[in-house]
Chains A and B, each alone.
Chain A
């Protein structure tokens, strides 16, 4: 009963997604998502299914990716969804420097993803190992392990940056 009272009091805790979110000069996230959806329908015939792989991240990027499915961005309403297995995914969001322990699993995940597939390296560490570069525990950049289609810079990148990365990756898929 407390739960229902709470729901009544709080109401719907979402707010309109607009230019107020993110940095000045960023494109409107709604426009971005619409562009992603249109592009994914064109190249893969439906909305894009995303699998996130943490290859050794500090989880800063995960928080931002999590924000994509939070109440503000709420990706699912546009049909973009995060799936539970690479078998169901079109696109991998890989975060973090690739640690030695995650090197084989990352490659296996990539192999398990059906073709055609895309990889977006999310965050500074995924792009260049960031502050972990040279560590004995790190096997290398994401691009050293699996082919990367788009890179999202930032530590951490904003959700809007990540959306732009996804759009950029979709731009690389040849038609057919």
Chain B
């Protein structure tokens, strides 16, 4: 009895914890108390959510709850947390705990300027909505939770609502997320109507979908891909990410990037892998194409951006692309009937979801700490933080190494698996598949290399050398709660790499629930080896960690023991220059310049060089001004016309609203007549 009640208790604790953040609203004018209530509620809720997810993942028994009385015509609220949902619940709760702890200190700066109670309430609501999305087991529950998530996150994005740039970002976010919702609604209405079921529960949809006509199935898949893809940030629907992430408070960015974006991927998996079952070959091809485009566009824009949070947002687009490459490859292999390769690709994708949540969450928290300390996100105004922020800098470094997919951290493990999952297809006997997956491998390699360069830039320019502005010079490290949150999440990065094997088993059990996984997968692992089927590749994250730590310790010891103890401290060699100023340092723009030149054809930057010479002689230069802008191609060619059309239509529609009551009465009469006519007519 006690066992069966445990998930229920955990679920109630999760909902209760998140709901308790509402108490922050009624705390009368005490920012301090609001912060504590918000952080405590979110942390309790997220801990309970993590425990619930763990219980479902371990036992494999889905947690089921329902409230048929609510919204009966639409099938009532129906919750069922299976392993796929539990995996995503674990990811989002795992990010939510450190982010909430971090938020306790981070939001202190907002006291007096913005309502902290409202913020705490929205954070709780946002987390609750995300948790309900993965629990939803019928269409109405999913859509309600999805919209609640969109609203709560919108309010969080526009926290700093007195900044016009932030409200503009909010408008973009709201527009994109609702356009996505429209596509999702269309997909589910189509699927629900075609399935002929009454409650539109996922179980009914799942059993009905194989017998549907290919046209309906294709339409449902494409609509769901567009709808969930807009939340995941797939190119060309990624446009809101680089706007909303810099605008939102940093712990919210961590939640959005680490957790919410993943729910878009959850939706794609839920529809494409679970509800619709095995699809035609081109579904996977489309997903691979979108994934490759996202990976490249994301990393190319991340590379040249000087705004730390926008850089991270673009890098999220890249990583979502990488996950979609894995999902697409899995779908392709599944359509071809190669279940072993398919399982490997899906495993790699899901593993990367988990790992990306860890290192990107870490990075957003570290950047949040930098913004908190310096008040700027512009890398060209930072620098020299390594000395001034001894806690934030290592955390940033760990996150950046994870993002750069370098061993021994977790990003390396999942990207390595992604590579391995593409390799069986490269040797495929079907030429089109072989070419497609070979291009996929190339994309992975290019994105990986550019991501590493991006990380060197982000970390090197922000943290090393000397400060480029007085605010960076006066930087101080974060208060205790922020440190605790970001260090905890940073420690998760190496931990996820070390515990790859248990993680792989969990992910495999998730897949086993959705598709027939061959018995040979996962292969019997010898010790700590990650072994991939189809290709004979072995890798052990633990062995790499041990060797790396050993080598580093050896070098350190050798230097300690053998090198001369005598030390002389001098200034950095600057070619004997008399004064050295921070302006002589490498800038973020300059660091990215060589690569920007390589990809000139894609960026097509608009550069202006204005040289101001002395009126008497052109050899005496009085001033040089250099300006460089990257045109926003997606804005100009894709969204520009759409926005124009919407504005045009809205202007035309406005003529209906003349302000005259008589006219409005005429409208009402006209509608009444039409309706009566229709009723009589039928």
A101 to B575 alpha-carbon distance, docked (Å): 13
Q: Which of A1-28 contact B (CB under 8 A)?
A: none
Which of these, A86, A104, A106, A115, contacts B573 with CB under 8 Å?
A86
A87 to B568, CA, bound (A): 13
Instruction: Give bound CA distance, A105 to B576, whole Å.
Output: 4
Residue numbers in A under 8 Å from B650 (CB-CB):
none
Q: Which residues of B contact A87 (CB under 8 A)?
A: 573
Cβ-neighbour of A111 out of B570, B575, B578 (below 8 A): B570
Is the beta-carbon distance between B570 and A112 smaller than 8 angstroms?
A: yes
Q: Is the CB of B568 within 8 A of A108?
A: no
Chain A residue at minimal CB-CB distance from B570: A111
Complex CA–CA separation, A108 to B579 (angstroms): 11
Q: From B568, B571, B575, B576, name the one whose CB has the most chain A CB atoms within 10 angstroms.
A: B576
| B430 interfacial by beta-carbon distance below 8 Å | no
Digitize A89-120: 1 where CB-to-B-CB distance is under 8 Å, 0 elsewhere: 00000000000000011101101100100000
Q: A85–B573 contact, CB under 8 A?
A: yes
Which of A86, A87, A108, A111 has the most chain B CB within a 10 Å cutoff?
A108
- The interface residues of chain A lying within 8 Å CB-to-CB of B571 are 108, 111
Residues of B within 8 A of A105 (CB): 575-578
Type the 1/0 row for B555-567, where 1 means its CB is closer than 8 Å to any CB of A.
0000000000010
Nearest chain-A residue to B568 (Cβ)?
A115
Interface flags, A135-172, vs B, CB<8A=1, else 0: 00000000000000000000000000000000000000
Interface majority SS on B: helix, strand, loop or mixed? loop
Please tell me if the beta carbons of B576 and A104 are within 8 angstroms of each other in the complex: yes
CB contacts under 8 Å to A, within B574-606, are 574-578
Residue of chain A at shortest CB distance from B564:
A115
Q: How distant is A110 from chain B, measured CB to nearest CB, in Å?
A: 10
Of B566, B568, B570, B578, the residue contacting A104 (CB under 8 A) is: B578
Contacts of B577 in A (CB 8 A): 105
Q: Tell me whether A109 and B576 are in contact (CB under 8 A).
A: yes
List chain B residues, Cβ under 8 A from A115: 566, 568
- Assign chain B's interface to a size class: 10 to 19
Complex alpha-carbon distance, A106 and B576, angstroms: 7
Contacts of A85 in B (CB 8 A): 573
**B residues near A106, Cβ cutoff 8 Å:** 576
* Chain A residues, Cβ within 8 Å of B575: 105
Minimum CB–CB distance for B624 against chain A, Å:
24
B573: chain A residues at CB < 8 Å are: 85-87, 112
Q: What residues on B are CB-neighbors of A104 within 8 Å?
A: 576, 578
A112 vs B568: C-alpha distance when bound (angstroms): 10
Contacts of A86 in B (CB 8 A): 573
Given the complex, which residues of A lie within 8 Å of B566, measured CB to CB? 115
Q: Roughly how many angstroms separate A138 CA and B566 CA in the complex, as a whole number?
A: 35
B574 smallest CB distance to A (angstroms): 8
| Cα–Cα distance between A111 and B566 once the two chains are bound (Å) | 15
- Distance (whole angstroms) from the CB of A40 to the closest CB of chain B: 19
Chain A positions within 8 Å of B576 at CB level:
104-106, 108-109, 112
**B564 shortest CB reach to chain A, Å:** 9
Nearest-Cβ distance from residue A57 to partner chain B, whole angstroms: 15
Docked pose: A104 CA to B578 CA in angstroms: 7
Contacts of B574 in A (CB 8 A): 108
How far does the Cβ of B581 sit from chain A's closest Cβ, in whole Å?
16
Q: Please name all residues of chain B whose beta carbon is closer than 8 Å to the beta carbon of A108 when the two chains form the complex.
A: 571, 574, 576
CA–CA, A66 to B577, complex, Å? 24
**Docked complex Cα distance between A112 and B569 (Å):** 10
Q: How long is the Cα–Cα vector from A112 to B571 in the complex, in angstroms? A: 8
Q: How many angstroms from the CA of A106 to the CA of B577 in the assembled complex?
A: 10
* Closest chain A residue to B576, Cβ basis: A105
Docked complex Cα distance between A85 and B570 (Å): 15
Measured between beta carbons, the chain B residues less than 8 angstroms from A109 are 576
Shortest distance between the CB of A39 and any CB in chain B (Å): 22
In angstroms, Cα B580 to Cα A108, docked, is 12
Q: How far is the CA of A106 from the CA of B573 in the complex (A)?
A: 12
**Chain B nearest CB: distance from A55 CB in Å?**
10
Q: Which partner residue on chain B sits nearest A111 by CB separation?
A: B570
Q: How far is the CB of B575 from chain A (nearest CB, A)?
A: 8
Give A100 Cβ to nearest chain B Cβ, in Å: 11
Distance of A104 Cα from B577 Cα, bound (Å): 8
Report the separation of the CA atoms of residues A90 and B608 in the bound assembly, to the nearest whole angstrom: 45
- Please give, as numbers and ranges, the residues of chain B lying within 8 Å of A112 by CB-CB distance: 570, 573, 576
The docked-state distance in angstroms from the alpha carbon of A115 to that of B576 is 18
Q: How far is the CA of A109 from the CA of B574 in the complex (A)?
A: 9
Closest-by-CB residue of B relative to A110 is B576
A106 CA / B575 CA spacing, docked (Å): 10
In the assembled complex, the Cα of A111 lies from the Cα of B569 at a distance in Å of 10
**Residues in A whose Cβ lies below 8 Å from that of B578:** 104-105
| Distance of A142 from chain B, by nearest CB (Å) | 15
CB contacts under 8 Å to B, within A50-88, are 85-87
A21 to B239, CA, bound (A): 73
Residue of A whose beta carbon sits closest to that of B572: A112
Q: How far is the CB of A23 from chain B (nearest CB, A)?
A: 35
**Which residue of chain A has the shortest Cβ distance to B579 in the bound complex?**
A104
Smallest CB–CB gap between A112 and chain B, Å? Answer: 5
Q: Which residues of A contact B570 (CB under 8 A)?
A: 111-112
CB distance from B179 to the nearest CB of A (A): 57
Q: How far is the CA of A87 from the CA of B576 in the complex (A)?
A: 12
State A109–B575 Cα separation when bound (angstroms): 8
Min C-beta distance of B460 to chain A, whole Å: 20
Q: How far is the CA of A87 from the CA of B573 in the complex (A)?
A: 8
Question: Which single residue of chain A is at the shortest CB-CB distance from B575?
Answer: A105
Chain A hits for B568, CB < 8 A: 115
Interface residue ranges of B103-143 to A (CB < 8 Å): none
Q: Which residue of B lies closest to A114 (CB)?
A: B568
CA gap between A86 and B572 in the complex, in Å: 12
A44 to chain B, nearest CB (A): 14
Can you give 7 contacting A-B residue pairs, CB < 8 Å? A85-B573, A87-B573, A104-B576, A104-B578, A108-B574, A109-B576, A112-B576
Please list the 3 inter-chain residue pairs (A to B) with the smallest Cβ-Cβ separation, ordered nearest first.
Answer: A105-B576, A108-B576, A112-B573
Chain A residues engaging chain B, CB cutoff 8 angstroms? 85-87, 104-106, 108-109, 111-112, 115
Q: A108-B576, A112-B573 are in contact. List 6 more A-B contacts (CB 8 A).
A: A104-B578, A105-B578, A109-B576, A111-B571, A115-B566, A115-B568
The residues of B with any CB-CB pair to A shorter than 8 Å are 566, 568, 570-571, 573-578
